[in-house]
Amino acid sequence: MILYAAIIASFLSSLYLFHRRRSCKHPLLFDYPILGMLPTLLFNLWRLHDFITEILTKHGGTGEFMGPWFTKMNYLVTCDSLNVQHMLCKRFDNYVKGHDFRDIFEPFGDGFGAADDETWKYIRNLLRSQMKQPRLKAFVDQTVQKKILTSLLPILDHAQQQGRVVDIQDVLVRFTSDNICLTTVGHDPKSLSVDFPEVAIEMAFRETEKSIFYRHTVPKTIWKLQKRLQIGQEKKMREAYKTFDEFIYALIASKREELSKCTKEEISEAPFNLLTVWMTEDEGLREHDDKFVRDSAFNFLVAGRGAMASTLTWFLWLVSKHPLVEAKILEEIRDNFKTNEKKNDDCGDHCFDEDHHNDNLDQEQYLKQSASGEALGMEEVTKLVYLHGALCEEIWGKDCLEFKPERWISDRGEIVYAPAYKFIAFNAGPRICLGKDLAFVQMKMVAAAILSKYCFKVVEGHVPTPTHSIVLLMKNGLKARIMKREV
């Protein structure tokens, strides 16, 4: 009986493998019995991004990943720009987000990040009209400049005077979180302050991102069961979800009460934020209820906080490793705005770390010190073409291992724009990010303000590695010492 059972098991396994390998025409990895391609992936988890890049390169940019048997975790993986163009541009209507996507990205609700069909078209048209408003650009310009002068630079100055190692990524995440919160709902969580407080809403966002990534890594039946039983990561998701909803619905109620007491003229003259716009937008299409406002706010906050912080973190790390690029950025700033910085700036020769330390300085003192300073505005940073190119340098082209901002600059000194389906940092096709240009100018404002005043020395032995998340942050942050740039 044991022999017969072994023969039957062997026969069934052979049938299973035959079926799997016939259905998987372009396998990325070796397909193990029962476990599929998971063992090889887990073995290389510590270098996942590099590993996937190597595998896709060997397979012409596209291949299939087959997960463990019965898990339904089978994927088509591609980095081929023609495939991207097909899905995001030419055959956009064939590739909807769908029910499974909305299930995983549950906290996004019916916002623009997860919506399909007529709901998506309505939101898209509404956002397009809002993003064109001069009031929005003026408000963002003012908000970013104020936040740079009253929070970002004072915090960096404080850390520099103390001589302490700072997680630059944490600083930038806090800055962008406060900034996008002000722009979206008119509220400043003040997570970027001298004592680096743990802000409930910010912690809720981080936990939500972890949970969404977790849902991508385990079979649907597992996380669905955890959700039903309210255990594990799903319990944390629910708590984070609740924290955000309490926060946003309280702001919505307060804003509705405030607006009910205002005339149209008073509303039009009030400080601008998207929460107010969503409640007062008169497009003659439909009334925006609290759920619509909540979903819109969540999608905007997620889109605006992590992505810019991630880009700026990797950018500053790369600049710290490439002094020639740093010198060119500083030269461009100096040539356009006649700063007093000396030429041939180099972090080794032209930066210093003050040797006096004062642990009793409070943020209020720094706010007063920074009040007389200036930060470049949106119109001004449009002149910084080389800085724009440096921010674009991601993994790109045949010489992608070189940090080469020049590839983004034409012979006439203008910015070179690559097709969105080849450079998909801001998506492509009908879903391309409407806030792309606004994001770039904000990042240029922050980068110019920081690099004009400071340079960084990454602590010895600190190796930045990408985190496993829906946002490509650094796993252990960016630990560095801050030094004032000599002028």
Q: 391: part of which helix (H) or strand (E)?
A: helix 385-392
Residue 351, marked binder: no
468-473, long-range: CB < 8 A, 24+ apart: 468/45, 468/48, 468/213, 469/209, 469/210, 469/213, 470/209, 470/212, 470/213, 470/216, 471/209, 471/306, 471/307, 471/310, 472/310, 472/314, 473/169, 473/173, 473/306, 473/309, 473/310, 473/313
Identify the CA nearest to 298 among candidates 180, 129, 437, 139.
Answer: 180
User: How does DSSP classify residue 36?
Assistant: B
Three-class DSSP category at 168: helix
Distance CA 473, CA 466 (A): 6
177 touches 151 (CB < 8 A):
no
Residue count of the chain, please give it. 487
Q: How far apart are CA 370 and CA 88, in angstroms?
A: 45
Residue ranges at the known binding site for heme: 433
Residue ranges at the known binding site: 433
